[in-house]
Structure 1
Amino acid sequence: MANFTLAELVKSSTAEQLKINNNPPSIVRVHLTETITLLECIRAEWAEYCERHDLGTPAIRITSGYRSPELNKAVGGVKNSAHVEGYAADLQPVNGKQNEFERFFATEFSHMGYAYDQIIIERSKSSRWVHVGYKRADGKQRRQCFTLKV
């Protein structure tokens, strides 16, 4: 499997449509590299989970990564969003097994001892995703896991 890339975490169709510059400053690129390290661990553990439960391909899609302050405002993100600092990504499984993906985070990954700030299983009327926050801007990692209806 290929590694996650900075380009995946910075790409935004919303930024492209609205002509918003979504290029992160150098310090945020460092943060994104730290976040990628956690995402690689998630991918490896999810691959094992998929194999054990015969769920098919373990690929993971990043639906939202870094957001410039302007992009974050445009998408309705909270002011203190970890996305703006390069410390968060929203994920969905490519195999479509969203229920299993959420179960994996709630019952397995969140208890494996990895360093993270928040795992939020988010559900809207039209979509579902898992928000993974590596750490807060102040460096704290609260190891919180919960579900949020948005």
Structure 2
Amino acid sequence: MTQLSRHFMLSEFTRSATAQARKIDNTAPPAVVKNLFLLAQFIEQVRTELNDAAIFISSGYRCPALNKAVGGAATSSHLTGLACDFTVPHFGTPFAICQQLAKSDLMFDQLIYERTSTAIWAHCGIAASGVTPRRQVLTIDGNGTRVGLWE
């Protein structure tokens, strides 16, 4: 078991019920593991910003086959290990999480409040090494993709 940071294991960023059900090997290659180390360090900062509440990762790294299976974007940062989807029940709703992170000084690349008919989560992505983070805040829901947070 590989420990990426104080609170996060590699397995938290690579496990997937969809991959398991469809027998997709979602093992992260070495270059992606390096990115996941960076992402885990960033998510530690997110945890601190959210009153040190436990973070539950629902989706981290996705190999191309898994990304396709879940309907992920072809350019998704999940493919490179630079993004994860999560909830923080002891902090609040995904909307409250996104509100807090949007007003923080954290240098995320993308912060997305995502809602489907069956689930709601926060998505946070970091920029690749050497790239300036955009601090882009979006909402993705039944109305499409919109700039800003929309409840």
State the TM bucket, normalised to the shorter chain. Answer: 0.7 to 0.9
CA contact (8 A) 1:6 1:32 kept: yes
How many residues were matched structurally?
A: 137
The TM-score normalised by the length of structure 2 is: 0.82
The TM-score normalised by the length of structure 1 is: 0.83
Question: Does 2:67 match 1:72?
Answer: yes
Query: Which consecutive residues of structure 1, in runs of 5 or more, have no partner in the other structure?
Result: 49-57
Letter in 2 for 1:112: S
Counterparts of 1:84 and 1:42, CA distance in 2: 21
- Equivalent residue for 1:47? 51
- SS of 1:91's partner is strand
Query: Which consecutive residues of structure 2, in runs of 5 or more, have no partner in the other structure?
Result: 1-5, 143-151
CA contact (8 A) 1:82 1:136 kept: no
Counterparts of 2:129 and 2:41, CA distance in 1: 17
User: Which aligned runs of 4 or more in structure 1 are off by greater than 6 angstroms?
Assistant: none
Counterparts of 1:19 and 1:137, CA distance in 2: 32
- Equivalent residue for 1:134? 126
Q: Which fold has the larger relative contact order, with Cα–Cα distance below 8 Å and residues 6 or more apart in sequence?
A: 1
- Equivalent residue for 2:19? 15
Report the CA distance between 1:93 and its aligned residue: 1.7
Deviates most, 132-141 or 15-24: 132-141
CA contact (8 A) 2:24 2:65 kept: yes
Letter in 2 for 1:60: I
Counterparts of 1:105 and 1:92, CA distance in 2: 10
CA contact (8 A) 1:120 1:132 kept: yes
